[in-house]
Amino acid sequence: MRKSKFKTRDEQEVIGYYEVLDLIFDNFSEIKLSESYIKQLHQLLLKHSDKDHRHRGGYKNLPNKVVAIYPTGEQKTIFPTTEPALVEGEMFELIEWTNLQWNEKTIHPLIVLAIFIYEFLSIHPFQDGNGRLSRLLTTLFLLRQGYEFIQYISFENHIEKNKKAYYDALMTAQRKRITHDDIIDKWLLFFLESLKALTEKLDKKYDVFKQKGGYLNERQKKLREFIVEHRTVKISDLSAAFPDISPNTLKKDLQYLRDEQIVSTVGQGKGTVYVIKD
């Protein structure tokens, strides 16, 4: 039987993006900042792409440039990116610097992340898919730094709705990158304000759900029903009963049920037992 294909490039990009996003949600604690992981994520991102199959998971071998495409269809070149021969060295330095900053903790992790994304987009290491991959990496590293709210709201959607401000913030600095005079204060503000806007949007959604008595998705409802039926359960019981749900997702759902005061816990560590709260 022949494998079905997605006809349009938009379809290919969307399915690739959300497959990688699901992978990140389920495995973010295991995916570290390294060249090999970045290349693997890029390969998966373009898995369904006909056009870019030769460039999956490999740095670019031809010059490329950042082009802003506004909702009106207007295109504008921002600046020429790093030359292919220099990409590997610049990516190595960027990854080393970022890991060092996160380990030393002398700079706030969100500032480090904003700088990493700016440099990544400026290097533009892959022939295609750099913008999408930068949003996936943003989600990954927010999760790794403990900002788990990003699981419940879309950074990609926010960028799509604010493309002009996004490109303008990048262009302000990147125009002078070739002379090493780029100042990224406007980009830092855009990045941090975007995260603030997302958290505020999520808070509003949460307030609506709280007014309705809380919100559970279908998966969380099944977990609640299982706990009601069995009275007391451990996470190992849930893993055995729901093998299609990853351990990370189970932990996330259980924490949400606790936050909503639907379940409570008895014990600690591996001996933790979950019960329905009276």
CATH value at residue 121: 1.10.3290.10
Domain presence at residue 210: no
Residues 62 and 107 placed together within one structural domain of the fold: yes
Give a yes or no: residue 186 inside a domain.
yes
Domain co-membership, 133 together with 223: no
Query: Does 223 share its domain with 201?
Result: no
What CATH number is attached to the domain comprising 260?
Answer: 1.10.10.10
Same domain for 19 and 138: yes
> Of all residues in the chain, what percent are helix, strand and coil, respectively (each to 5)?
65, 10, 30
When pLDDT is averaged across residues 51-62 and rounded to a whole number, the result is 78
Nearest to 9 by CA among 58, 63, 45: 45
Instruction: Record the tokens describing residue 246, joined without a space.
Output: 């990853």
Query: What SS3 class is residue 274?
Result: strand
For residues 168 and 192, membership in a common domain is answered with yes
- Domain assignment present for 23: yes
Average pLDDT over residues 78-86: 85
Q: Is 198 in the same domain as 224?
A: no
- 31-40, 191-200, 268-277: segment of lowest average pLDDT: 268-277
Residue 146, pLDDT > 80, answer: yes
- Is 54 a residue whose pLDDT tops 70? no
Does residue 184 sit in the same domain as residue 226?
no
Residues 6+ apart with CB under 8 A from 87: 59, 60, 123, 125
Is 4 inside any structural domain?
no
Same domain, 68 and 165: yes
C-beta separation of 273 from 234 below 8 A: yes
Helix (H, G, I), strand (E, B) or coil at 66: strand
Rounded to two decimals, the pTM is 0.71
Given 205, 240, 265, the domain boundary residue is 205
> What's the CA gap between 11 and 156, in Å, rounded?
16
Nearest to 119 by CA among 101, 146, 145: 101
**DSSP code for 79:** E
Domain that holds residue 227: 218-276
The torsion defined by the Cα of 75, 194, 116 and 91, in degrees rounded to 10, comes to -40
Question: Are residues 87 and 22 part of one domain?
Answer: yes
> How many C-alpha atoms does 92 have within 13 Å on its Cβ side?
5
Same domain, 195 and 226: no
Residue 6: per-residue pLDDT: 46
Average pLDDT, the chain: 86
Q: Do the Cβ atoms of 272 and 266 come closer than 8 Å?
A: yes
On whether both 24 and 121 belong to a single domain, the answer is yes
148 vs 140: CA distance, rounded Å: 10
Does 271 fall in a domain? yes
Which of 205, 230, 258 is the last residue before a domain boundary?
Answer: 205
Number of domains making up the chain: 2
Q: Are residues 68 and 106 both part of a single domain?
A: yes
* Cα(178)–Cα(234) distance, integer angstroms: 57
